Amino acid sequence: MGHFNATAMRITFLLLFNLIWFQSNSQSNIYHTFPVSDGVWRVDWGEQSCFSSGLPQANYRYIMNGDSVINGISYHKIEREYGSSIGCGPFYPQGNGYMGGLREDSLNRLIYFVPRDSINESLLYDFNLSVGDTLPSYFIDLFGLSYTTITSIDSMLIGSEYRKVLHSIGNSFVEGIGSLAGLLETQRLDLTPNLVCYIQDGIELYQYFPGVSCDLISSIDEKMQTKDDVDIFPNPFNTACTIRVDYRSTFILYNLLGIEVKRINCVEGSNVLDREQFSSGLYFYEVIGSKNKNRGRIVMN
């Protein structure tokens, strides 16, 4: 009887596993189009010179605002709205207001963009790419990328559906959303733009970690109101860094996809975060106490 129950449990587990795999695989094979009127992409922009402060160098968002005809072709107008910025680095993303026109060839899974100072479109995203294929010309021309190929392909749960994700070194591209560095951004060298959240039809479909706001920060004081309670150094670091806090708290580390990868119960004073097996790159953290919450970024070299 026991052997029968164990066998039945194994069969049930395998059936559930196959059902979940089939669901995620079939959903990721469905192409998810970009929005046509109500998309919002909220972005934090920063450089390594800003990391020690735990602040974005600038925060802004892209919104869709009507349509425009360029060369006889209809495009969705993309505008940029700024929240605030701080002068901790020399390089800011240029432009405010109208940034250009976006259109999608959904049949061929291609997204084109015409910058505001041009009448010629560039290929922004191509979701037909395979591993080893070269990124579209927009990112290569704008950023002069040397890591220009797709390194892997998988899927991500966005809302209630799985969407195809293309990965290159330092960046990921999600169907219907675009780059996880921002709609028109990609990560390069010490520049680390990050898509904080994405809204479509008034619904938040993507956040880089749970609870993050899609609203723009209108002043630095909003972000820094409890900053003095936490000090993390060195940042960036190679093998370990110190987390100094003024209260007992929980330190939570997230990867770029918003997945929790480490949790530390911190005592008042100094605590150590070891590099362990973590890959090089940008991570996000929360430090949560009984009355305080801090968020910021950590870079592992």
Give the pLDDT confidence of 51-81 residue by residue, as tens digits: 445 556 678 899 999 999 999 999 999 999 8
Residue 218 lies in a domain: no
Asked whether residue 115 falls in the same domain as residue 238, the answer is no
In the predicted model, what is the mean pLDDT of residues 250-261?
81
pLDDT band at 226 (very low <50, low <70, confident <90, very high): very low
Asked whether residue 50 falls in the same domain as residue 197, the answer is yes
In the predicted model, what is the mean pLDDT of residues 151-160?
89
Mean pLDDT, the chain, rounded, equals: 79
Burial of 96: CB neighbours in 10 Å, binned 0-12, 13-18, 19+: exposed
Among 121-135, 140-154, 156-170, 241-255, the range with the most confident prediction by mean pLDDT is 121-135
Q: β-pairing, 230-233 with 240-245?
A: antiparallel
In the predicted model, what is the mean pLDDT of residues 37-62?
73
Question: Quick check: 272 pLDDT over 70?
Answer: yes
Residue 216 lies in a domain: no
Residue 15 lies in a domain: yes
The tally of domains found in the chain comes to: 3
Asked whether residue 51 falls in the same domain as residue 14, the answer is no
Higher pLDDT, 141 or 161: 161
Which CATH number is 289's domain given?
A: 2.60.40.3080
pTM over 0.85: no
In the predicted model, what is the mean pLDDT of residues 25-46?
80
Asked whether residue 153 falls in the same domain as residue 245, the answer is no
What domain range is 248 assigned to?
226-300
Note the pLDDT of residue 1.
53
Asked whether residue 174 falls in the same domain as residue 237, the answer is no
Asked whether residue 235 falls in the same domain as residue 200, the answer is no
Residue 277 lies in a domain: yes
Note the pLDDT of residue 198.
94
Asked whether residue 105 falls in the same domain as residue 249, the answer is no
Higher pLDDT, 147 or 173: 173
Residue 219 lies in a domain: no
Residue 79 lies in a domain: yes
Question: Quick check: 280 pLDDT over 70?
Answer: yes
Note the pLDDT of residue 24.
42
**What tokens does 204 get?**
């938040």
Q: What DSSP letter does each residue of 125-146 carry, written as one string?
A: EETT--TTPBPPHHHHHHH--S
The residues, ordered by sequence, that sit 6+ positions from 220 with a Cβ below 8 Å of its Cβ are 55, 84, 86
Count of CB atoms situated within 10 Å of the CB of 91: 11
Asked whether residue 200 falls in the same domain as residue 237, the answer is no
Higher pLDDT, 49 or 213: 213
The last residue of a domain, from among 207, 234, 249: 207
Asked whether residue 294 falls in the same domain as residue 244, the answer is yes
pLDDT band at 26 (very low <50, low <70, confident <90, very high): very low
AA letter at 117: D
Asked whether residue 290 falls in the same domain as residue 230, the answer is yes
